[in-house]
């Protein structure tokens, strides 16, 4: 199971989420579908590393839409004040 | 004319756990569901929430003016509504915060006689307050888009907290594939007109995954341009001074200044 698949399962299942939130370390340790390396990564909770792994799993790192492309200021900016 | 409806919701920031029951009910009861996420995993999750689910991500073309992209998104949202369908559209975070197409689609839908509404959601700013332990009531809080902050020479009150969004797309109105960092020194220069270079600021990034911690990098203002910045980075500048109370006003309000 990839980390992306694991997180999707987590997001879909309220019971799993409740267990995770109650004790993240215990919950992750119990995930037999994940490798020790994956559990360690998730347990470390490092967002940047996790994002790199998920991008790699999707194999679309180059196509991933960054937040700024969605939420960028769209309004034409006025000229600067004198 | 067949009347359709448009409901705009937000997914919140953290995938799965920030979606409100109200938003979920809107998605479940709609004829069609369109969505725009900031990452593929969240997009995958959203695709599974409704049998007729479509991502709006294909509206983006790198290098194109974002205004054109937003126009495309608005029209994609309105097409099913004009056909008499009940559409729910989900945007990352709060659907009304830094999301122009959502506001514009609602405006046009209403003007054309359709029912349109927006539901509130968890924004990145909400996450920032929680993760950094900041209460905007304590000192007041100014919040600007970084380009807007520079271009309109917004006044700074150093006794207030200051939040600057989109610091890695300063001066660029197109869709980018990578953060643009060349104008960050301009922002630092502007801020150092009013803050000391040794003032500690925070580069912040809310976590989109319930298993990951947010990014909270504390750096000196003068070293901001060398900090690890991503497309999602937000700058939090804590107050540097204490706001003085107006004794005369305090007396008028019946407040003690002691």
Contact B205 A47 (CB under 8 A): yes
- Residue B256 or residue A11, greater confidence: A11
ipTM: 0.80
Beta-carbon contacts of residue B236 (< 8 Å; ≥ 6 apart): B128, B132, B134, B161, B162, B163, B201, B202, B204
Q: What is the pLDDT of residues B66-108, one digit of tens each?
A: 889 999 999 999 999 999 999 999 999 999 998 999 999 999 9
pLDDT computed for residue A82 by the predictor: 37
Measured distance CA(B58)–CA(B43) in Å, rounded: 12
Mean pLDDT, chain A, rounded, equals 75
Q: Taking a contact as any Cβ pair under 8 Å apart, which residues of chain A between 35 and 54 contact chain B?
A: 42, 45-48, 50-51, 54
- Which segments within B208-254 are labelled E, that is strand? 215-220, 234-237
Mean local confidence (pLDDT), B209-218: 94
Longest dimension (CA), chain A: 64
- Residue B198 or residue B59, greater confidence: B198
* Contact (CB, 8 A) for B90 and B46: yes
Helix axes A14-22, A3-12, angle to 10 degrees: 110
Do β-strands B234-237 and B161-165 pair in parallel, antiparallel, or remain unpaired? antiparallel
* Contact (CB, 8 A) for A47 and B39: no
Contact B66 A45 (CB under 8 A): no
Give me the phi and psi of A80, to 5 degrees please.
-60, 150
pLDDT of B46 > 90? The answer is: yes
- CA angle centred on A61, ends A41 and B176, rounded to 5°: 125
- Measured between CA atoms, the residue of chain B closest to residue A53 is B41
Q: What is the pLDDT of residues B106-135, one digit of tens each?
A: 999 999 999 999 999 999 999 999 999 999
Contact A73 B57 (CB under 8 A): no
Confidence of residue A81 (pLDDT cuts 50, 70, 90): very low
Measured distance CA(B231)–CA(B205) in Å, rounded: 9
| Residues of B carrying an active site annotation | 66, 70, 92
As given in the structure block, the two tokens for residue B67 are 């205004």
pLDDT of A74 > 60? The answer is: no
Q: Which helix (H) or strand (E) holds B243?
A: none
């Amino acid at each position: 199971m990839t980390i992306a698949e694991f997180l999707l399962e987590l997001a879909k299942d309220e019971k799993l989420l409740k267990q995770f939130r109650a004790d993240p370390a215990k919950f992750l340790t119990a995930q037999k579908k994940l490798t020790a390396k994956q559990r360690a990564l998730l347990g470390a909770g490092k967002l940047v590393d996790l994002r790199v792994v998920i991008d790699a799993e999707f194999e679309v790192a180059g196509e991933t839409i960054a937040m700024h492309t969605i939420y960028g200021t769209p309004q034409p900016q006025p000229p600067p004040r004198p | 004319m067949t009347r359709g409806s448009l409901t705009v919701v937000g997914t919140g920031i953290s995938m799965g756990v920030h979606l409100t029951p109200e938003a979920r009910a809107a998605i479940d009861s709609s004829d069609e569901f369109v969505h725009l996420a900031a990452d593929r995993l969240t997009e995958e999750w959203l695709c599974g929430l409704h049998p007729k689910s479509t991502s709006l991500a294909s509206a983006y073309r790198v290098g194109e003016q974002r205004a054109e992209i937003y126009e495309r998104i608005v029209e994609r949202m309105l097409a099913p509504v004009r056909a008499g369908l009940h559409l729910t559209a989900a945007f990352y975070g709060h659907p009304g915060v830094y999301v122009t197409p959502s506001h514009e689609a609602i405006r046009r839908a209403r003007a054309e006689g359709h029912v349109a509404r927006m539901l509130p959601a968890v924004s990145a700013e909400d996450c920032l307050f929680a993760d950094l332990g900041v209460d905007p009531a304590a000192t007041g809080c100014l919040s600007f888009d970084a380009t807007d902050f520079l271009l309109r020479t917004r006044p700074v009150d150093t006794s207030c907290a200051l939040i600057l969004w989109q610091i890695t797309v300063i001066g660029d109105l197109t869709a980018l594939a990578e953060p643009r960092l060349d104008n960050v020194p301009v922002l630092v220069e502007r801020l150092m007109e009013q803050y000391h270079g040794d003032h500690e600021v925070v580069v912040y990034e809310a976590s989109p995954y319930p298993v990951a911690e947010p990014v909270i990098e504390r750096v000196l203002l003068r070293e901001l341009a060398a900090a690890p910045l991503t497309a999602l980075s937000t700058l939090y500048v804590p107050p540097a001074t204490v706001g003085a109370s107006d004794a005369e006003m305090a007396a008028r309000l019946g407040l003690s200044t002691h």
